[in-house]
Structure 1
Amino acid sequence: MWPTLKPKDRVIVRPHNQHSELPAIGAIVVCIHPQQPSRRVIKRLSAVADHQLTILGDCPDASTDSREWGRIPRGHLIGEVVALVTRPLEQGS
């Protein structure tokens, strides 16, 4: 999710369940990776259709997202990022 998120940034996520309203289009969300269920991905919600989500990274040239995987099931949505905690730059960075 570069440039929005940088290595070692931390996010606070509001959990989503089947009864929750979906996050707004454009929200940053955490989802189960569609091809590797033990992994989580952070992407931007781009579209919702037929209980499926289109999620895209902020850096199209470097992102693996719905352009490669296709839409993902709504059930893969873990939650919406509601806060970002950035780490201060280290000396010499």
Structure 2
Amino acid sequence: MRLGLAEVYNPSMLPTLRPGDQLLLSYGSRVRPGDVVVMRHPFQHDLLIVKRAVERRGGGWWVVGDNPEVTNDSREFGVVPDGLVVARAVLRLRSPRRGPQGVAVGSLVSAVRPLRVRSRRLRAR
């Protein structure tokens, strides 16, 4: 299993992922419904995007962002072929928030979190 890191740059996966979050990626891992994946954009292959794999459809994945306000996902570009899925995200690494008194304890606890299925979001739209 090959591992790597990627950084989130846009708000399409809010509230799960915020811009600036780092993702620990597993290349070649089996993708299951509910997994967060890094993939090549179907219309711009040099652009990598982060989405949630919802379900298998005709040789590919229906993917959506967790942020319903951003529609740059399968609602816009349809099913993503398997060959465009680059990796599965395993962990979110978040920089702790700093307040006036320093780093908040609660943010330290949530700085590293496994990415799990968000069942209420798993609806093909």
* Same fold by TM-score greater than 0.5: yes
Q: CA deviation at 1:40?
A: 0.5
Identity %: 31
Stretch moving more, 55-64 or 29-38: 55-64
Higher helix share: 2
Alignment RMSD (CA, Å): 1.4
Structure 1, unaligned runs of 5 or more: none
Q: How does 1:2-81 map to 2 (within 5 A)?
A: 2-16=14-28, 22-81=30-89
The structure whose RCO (Cα within 8 Å, separation 6+) is larger is 1
Give unpaired runs (5+ residues) of structure 2.
1-12, 101-125
Distance, in Å, in 2 between the alignment partners of 1:79 and 1:57 is: 16
Give the alignment's TM-score, normalised by structure 2.
0.66
TM-score (norm 1): 0.87
Distance 2:57 2:74 in 1: 13
